[in-house]
Amino acid sequence: MGFIPMYGVAIRDAIASNDLSKMEAIAEQAKQTVKEQGDLSAALVELLDAIDALKNKR
């Protein structure tokens, strides 16, 4: 997966994909962006919650 600009839609699309590896990759990019920009915190929390929910289904 290439670089995806971080904004709420990209994060929510990752959640909707239900693809754990895609979600984790987006989460890592979002964490870095939050460090740099700080304005994606709410969307990142949603993504991390969705990742945890998928992991708990296994």
Q: What is the pTM of this model?
A: 0.59
Say what the pLDDT of residue 58 is: 79
- What is d(CA 41, CA 55) in angstroms, rounded to the nearest whole number? 21
Say what the pLDDT of residue 27 is: 92
Indicate the pLDDT class of residue 52, thresholds 50, 70 and 90: very high
4-46 pLDDT tens trace: 665 688 889 999 999 999 999 999 988 887 788 766 678 888 9
Could you tell me the residue ranges of all domains in the chain?
8-57
- What is d(CA 37, CA 19) in angstroms, rounded to the nearest whole number? 26
Say what the pLDDT of residue 54 is: 95
Say what the pLDDT of residue 4 is: 61
